[in-house]
């Protein structure tokens, strides 16, 4: 197997891993938004959450890392 073929296989698998991580992150973030949904702000007419966006994003990132660590 040539080094170019090996590099191509590595890049393809790396792209798939990144796509999986992104998909997991989006799924976890959606799950967390449902979990921490606090209702509709009557003044702003927008949804509010019991955790900040940054807190939910950090928790989603942590869940992705834990999943990848468990399954690698």
Alpha carbons 64 and 12: distance in angstroms, whole number: 20
pLDDT in tens, 1-60: 554 545 554 566 888 889 999 999 999 999 999 999 999 999 999 999 999 999 999 999
- For tokens 């509010």, the residue is 48
* pLDDT number for residue 12: 60
Q: Which pTM was predicted?
A: 0.78
Alpha carbons 23 and 57: distance in angstroms, whole number: 13
């Amino acid at each position: 197997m040539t080094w170019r073929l090996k590099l191509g296989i590595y890049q393809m698998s790396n792209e798939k891993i990144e796509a999986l991580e992104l998909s997991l992150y989006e799924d976890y973030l959606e799950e967390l938004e449902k979990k921490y949904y606090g209702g509709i702000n009557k003044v702003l007419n927008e949804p509010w959450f019991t955790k900040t966006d940054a807190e939910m994003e950090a928790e989603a990132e942590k869940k992705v890392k834990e999943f990848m660590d468990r399954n690698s």
